[in-house]
Amino acid sequence: MAHRIEPANRPRVHGRGNRRLDGVLDFVAFAARPMPVLTLLDDAPGRIVELLEADVCSLYLVEGRSELVMRANVGFSSDAIGQVRLRVGEGITGEAVEYMRPISTETAEQHAAYKHFAELGEERFPVFLAVPIPGRAGPLGAIVVQRRTRAFSDHDVELLVLVGGVIAAGSRHAELVGEEGDRRTRNTGSGTRRVTLAGRPIVSGRALGAVAALRRPAGRPGERTSAGSSKEDVRLLRSAFEAADKSIRELRERARSRGLERDAAFLATYLEILGDMRFRERATELAAAGTGVATALSKVARAVAHAAASVSKDAFLEERARDIEDLCDALTMLATTERRSTLPSKAVLLGDTLTVFDLLVSARSQPTGIVLSERASGPRTRVLLKLMGIPAVADVKGLFRWASDGDVALLDGDHGFLVINPSKSEVASLREHRRARRDGKDAS
């Protein structure tokens, strides 16, 4: 029986089984799909780690005029995301972006441009490859992969360059704006412009809700903030003291259970103030005289502030005066039903600062997330956000330039983004992310 002779140039179908080829095809199929940048940041690093057989993959984005910010990572702690920052030209990664050329080394710590981040512990992964991600009007960012051992080959470098090009082709990073954003297209309150703002993630998680600005009591001295009698005012004030004392104690216990007891030591000051009988008696006396709760508490706060000001540069008294003023604002809101300062429920709250007032009062509206501008500062801010226990991002530049009450916001506390008026695909991606996390928890 004659054997059939196959043509020597018969085309070969490259079926599955080649690990690298399969990985490339899978990554191209993934990146070719239209997707929000948050989905890209969620999934791309893990795929790149598998493709390059690396231990670590970090994605950096160029923000502002020349800052590189780590916005996604596999291999390091998630706490590094949004916190590790370089200038273009700084470190190996910054040099790769400045020159728009890949840079690789087997001993990163010996490279002249190496910049050490102690919180990363990246000395465990000395084999380093940084590749810039090109954009239409300049670099979009960089991909960095690291290994414990085994240098990256020329083929690895070429492949990661192509991966960067695929990411650039599908990236929507051009929609990211900062304080240098185009003033001609600033938000006018119409609730129609879609904008992505970047900040520092503080509490992980994602939230969706209407935008609402943090508020303080609108009452002024001389205004009555309750419609009842002086006797009723006294009753409401005493109830407010009890509610505040209970809430502060619960917050201290929450801080202890989360390992924040030392950082939240300032809560003890609020308990001392609430336990000061002279403070309580004076506020109650004024309320009983018919001034109203708000005015009574305002007078007490002003008296303390005046006493602090009379002592030249006494930092302790000045801080205590601020704490008393903050607490008086909270007691006013706890004792009254002042609708002008009531926040909508399930909102994404925006503000320039966060105080214990917000843990006592703003938290009652059950917000889904909180965002603070670049004006928020002070050692208490981070711990207060963690005690709030909802997704939180801070240091968002241009926050109130772009966001207005009535807008819808998607808050990404994992990567440090706030999306104003998100698209349908971004909302769908958030829901899918929640389902995946819920299914993961159920499986475990």
Q: Can you spell out the DSSP letters for 355-423?
A: -HHHHHTGGGG--SEEEEETT--STHHHHHHHHHTS-EEEEETTHHHH--TT-EEEEETTTTEEEES--
Q: What is the CATH number of the domain that holds 326?
A: 1.10.274.10
Which of 24-33, 111-120, 137-146 tops mean pLDDT?
Answer: 137-146
170 pLDDT higher than 80: no
How many independent structural domains does the chain possess? Answer: 3
* Banded model confidence at residue 167, pLDDT cuts 50, 70, 90: confident
The string of pLDDT tens digits covering residues 289-332 is: 988 888 899 888 888 777 766 665 667 777 888 899 999 999 99
Strand (E) or helix (H) holding 303? helix 293-310
pLDDT for 218: 64
Same domain, 199 and 167: no
Is residue 289 a part of any domain in this protein?
yes
pLDDT for 221: 46
Cβ atoms of 415 and 38 within 8 Å: the answer is yes
Cβ atoms of 230 and 297 within 8 Å: the answer is no
Is residue 7 a part of any domain in this protein?
no
Tokens 């990363």 appear where?
A: 120
Average pLDDT, the chain: 86
Of 341, 374, 391, the domain-final residue:
341
pLDDT for 311: 62
Of 311, 341, 371, the domain-final residue:
341
> According to DSSP H, which parts of 89-229 are helical?
91-99, 154-170
How far is residue 151's CA from residue 127's CA, in Å, rounded to a whole number?
6
pLDDT for 219: 53
pLDDT for 182: 44
272 pLDDT higher than 70: yes
47 pLDDT higher than 80: yes
Same domain, 360 and 251: no
The string of pLDDT tens digits covering residues 357-386 is: 999 999 999 999 999 999 988 889 999 999
* Banded model confidence at residue 12, pLDDT cuts 50, 70, 90: confident
Same domain, 117 and 235: no
Same domain, 142 and 29: yes
The string of pLDDT tens digits covering residues 69-91 is: 999 999 999 999 999 999 999 99
pLDDT for 405: 85
Same domain, 425 and 380: yes
422 pLDDT higher than 50: yes
Q: What is the CATH number of the domain that holds 419?
A: 3.50.30.10
Same domain, 407 and 397: yes
Is residue 9 a part of any domain in this protein?
no
Is residue 12 a part of any domain in this protein?
no
Task: Tally Cβ neighbours within 10 Å of residue 361.
Answer: 25
Is residue 393 a part of any domain in this protein?
yes
Q: Kindly give the pairing relationship between strand 127-135 and strand 138-147.
A: antiparallel
* Banded model confidence at residue 336, pLDDT cuts 50, 70, 90: confident
Same domain, 277 and 371: no
Of 320, 341, 362, the domain-final residue:
341
* Banded model confidence at residue 217, pLDDT cuts 50, 70, 90: confident
Same domain, 381 and 406: yes
* Banded model confidence at residue 118, pLDDT cuts 50, 70, 90: confident
Same domain, 72 and 130: yes
Instruction: End-to-end CA distance of the chain: give it in Å, rounded.
Output: 61
Q: Which two tokens stand for residue 201?
A: 């993630």
Mean pLDDT within 261-287: 92
Cβ atoms of 108 and 94 within 8 Å: the answer is no
Is residue 3 a part of any domain in this protein?
no
Mean pLDDT within 390-400: 94
Q: What percent of the chain has pLDDT over 70?
A: 87
Is residue 14 a part of any domain in this protein?
no
Cβ atoms of 81 and 108 within 8 Å: the answer is no
Same domain, 318 and 388: no
pLDDT for 292: 86
pLDDT for 317: 75
For residue 295, give its domain range: 230-341
Same domain, 23 and 166: yes
Q: What is the CATH number of the domain that holds 120?
A: 3.30.450.40
Mean pLDDT within 153-158: 96
Mean pLDDT within 33-49: 89
pLDDT for 181: 45
**pTM for the structure as a whole:** 0.85
Is residue 311 a part of any domain in this protein?
yes
How far is residue 115's CA from residue 175's CA, in Å, rounded to a whole number?
29
Same domain, 55 and 170: yes
The string of pLDDT tens digits covering residues 56-72 is: 999 999 998 889 999 99
Q: Which two tokens stand for residue 308?
A: 């602090």
Q: What percent of the chain has pLDDT over 90?
A: 56
pLDDT for 187: 46
